Amino acid sequence: MIVMPIEPSHVKNLQCLPDTTSMFLNWTIIESDIKFYELTVNPFPKRILQQPILALVVSQTNITLVELTTNTSYQIQINAVGRNDIKGPSVTIVCNTSVEVLPPPVKMDLPQFDASSRIVISPDMFSEENGLIEYYGIVVTTNESLLRPTQEIISHTWYDHYYGQEDSYLAMLLPNPFHLNESTNLKAWPVSVGGEDCSHSRATCNGKLKTNTQYRFSIAAFTRYSRQTPKVSFTAFSAAAASADSATLPAPVVAGIIMGFLVTVTAISVWVYWKHLRKRRIEKGNIPQEMSIYSLRNTHRPIPLQSFRQYYETRTANSNNGFFQDF
């Protein structure tokens, strides 16, 4: 009896996910009796007698090729090798690395708030000269000395802040609404921070903010989102006085506060002046009784001697008191 060696089947569902200088490859295969996979990488189109730029042996069904050239086509060939060392049919794919993406330039360096204390994202905040903006983000911090977010912060989540020790985190990651709504000509996009019930989720989440805590906010724009190698720019953080729930007060409210302050100051001034006058009157009233009587009747005309008897009889006609009041 002759046993013929069985050739392994070819790999299936070969996929390539390119980046600017790397490619992620994955595939599947029906048989499990595979020893390893042979992989070769060549520039495309391949020149005659050109040697592969990469020749690898891998044991798993995925691999990341790194240190490739930006915006370049590559031909990748994969063979499965069985445990009997027989090589299966090759599968080939052509994949192109993407064009290098740069962060978008910042045009407006401070976040804006609307009358409802929401953060306003507008298409004028960042330029798209380095590529289309894929996502916008809202970065939150309690760090009063931090001027602008760092790339490390976007890997921190609400959970890391609310239940952990991180003072800054990415609260929201939002698809660019200005590309999705080009037909409606969207001019601004207001968003509220802290409105979601995140429970104990460790994913990016717009969870509630801590009470009695001063927050500041920054807007991020991504031409490519990745926690490891993002292409992102940030505005500066908002001023310490600005917050998602304490924006600039409307003019009528400010006018009312000023008017109330002026009325209070005026009332206090009047009260102090009245107290001062009352004190002076009391001081003037504390004089000797003799001087007081004299002051009350400070006009005493002299009585001629020849008329004294007649004057006395007139004053004593009703009471003797009238006479003694004059003297």
Domain layout of the chain by residue ranges = 12-97, 112-234
Query: What's the rounded mean pLDDT across residues 133-151?
Result: 95
Query: What's the rounded mean pLDDT across residues 179-187?
Result: 69
Supply the CATH classification number for the domain 12-97.
2.60.40.10
Who contacts 300 (Cβ-Cβ below 8 Å, separation ≥6)? 326
User: pLDDT at position 198, please?
Assistant: 95
Strands of the sheet with 168-175, listed across from one edge: 168-175, 135-141, 216-224, 231-234
User: pLDDT at position 186, please?
Assistant: 80
Percent of the chain clearing pLDDT 70 (strictly above) = 78
Quote the CA–CA distance of 219 and 213 in Å, as a whole number.
20
In the structure, what pLDDT confidence band is assigned to residue 248 with cuts at 50, 70 and 90?
Answer: very low
Given a cut of 70, whether residue 253 has pLDDT beyond it is no
**How is the chain split among helix, strand and coil, in percent rounded to 5?**
25, 25, 50
Query: What's the rounded mean pLDDT across residues 141-156?
Result: 95
Strands of the sheet with 91-96, listed across from one edge: 54-58, 34-43, 73-82, 91-96
Given a cut of 90, whether residue 204 has pLDDT beyond it is yes
Quote the CA–CA distance of 140 and 207 in Å, as a whole number.
11
| Closest C-alpha to 37, from 96, 74, 89, 75 | 89
Quote the CA–CA distance of 16 and 51 in Å, as a whole number.
22
What is the tens place of the pLDDT at every residue in 83-121?
A: 888 888 899 999 999 888 899 999 999 999 998 889 999
Who contacts 203 (Cβ-Cβ below 8 Å, separation ≥6)? 157
What is the tens place of the pLDDT at every residue in 13-63?
A: 999 998 888 999 999 988 778 899 999 999 998 877 778 888 999 999 999
Query: Containing H/E element for 159?
Result: helix 158-162
- Provide the Cα torsion 273, 278, 281, 286; round to 10°: -140
Quote the CA–CA distance of 318 and 297 in Å, as a whole number.
20
In the structure, what pLDDT confidence band is assigned to residue 2 with cuts at 50, 70 and 90?
Answer: low
Distances (CA, A) of 174 to 1, 121, 144, 187: 67, 11, 26, 16
Query: What's the rounded mean pLDDT across residues 122-150?
Result: 94
Contact of 193 with 206, CB cutoff 8 Å? yes
User: pLDDT at position 270, please?
Assistant: 81
Amino acid, res. 219: I
Given a cut of 50, whether residue 228 has pLDDT beyond it is yes
Quote the CA–CA distance of 240 and 222 in Å, as a whole number.
25
Quote the CA–CA distance of 139 and 136 in Å, as a whole number.
10
Contact of 196 with 205, CB cutoff 8 Å? yes
Contact of 148 with 237, CB cutoff 8 Å? yes
Of the candidate ranges 17-21, 103-107, 171-175, 320-324, the one whose mean pLDDT is the lowest: 320-324
Strands of the sheet with 12-18, listed across from one edge: 12-18, 23-28, 62-65
Percent of the chain clearing pLDDT 90 (strictly above) = 47
Exposure string for 21-47, b = 16+ CB within 10 A, e = fewer: bebebebebeeeebebbbbbbbeeeee
